Amino acid sequence: MNVTKQLHEEHLIIRDFLDQLQIAADRIVENRVPDKMFFEDAVRFARDFTDKYHHYKEEMVMFTRLAQLHTGLIDAETERLRSQHEQGRNHIAEISSLTGLLENPVQDNLRKLRLNLLEYIKLMRSHLNLENLSFFPMVESTLSDDDKLMILEEFKTSEQKLGEHFYDNSSKLLTEMKQILNE
Ligand SMILES: [Fe+2]
Ligand SMILES: [Fe+2]
What's the CATH superfamily of 5-182? nmb1532 protein domain like (1.20.120.520)
pLDDT at res. 115: 98
168 Cβ neighbours under 8 A, 6+ residues apart: none
Q: How remote is the CA of residue 58 from the centroid of ligand 1, in Å?
A: 6
C-alpha of residue 30 to centroid of ligand 1, in Å: 32
In tens, the pLDDT along 119-142 reads 999 999 999 999 999 999 999 999
- Ranges of each domain in the chain: 5-182
Mapping DSSP onto H, E and C, the string for 13-56 reads HHHHHHHHHHHHHHHHHCCCCCCHHHHHHHHHHHHHHHHHHHHH
Residue numbers in the chain where pLDDT is lower than 50: none
Give 113 Cα–ligand 1 centroid separation in angstroms.
23
pLDDT of residue 69: 84
- Note the pLDDT of residue 104: 83
Quick one: pLDDT at residue 105? 78
pLDDT at position 116, please? 98
Per-residue confidence (pLDDT) for residue 41, from 0 to 100: 98
CA 133 / ligand 1 centre spacing (Å)? 12
Ligand nearest to the CA of 136: 2
Torsion of CA 157, 166, 86, 8, to 10 degrees: 70
Ligand nearest the Cα atom of residue 6: 2
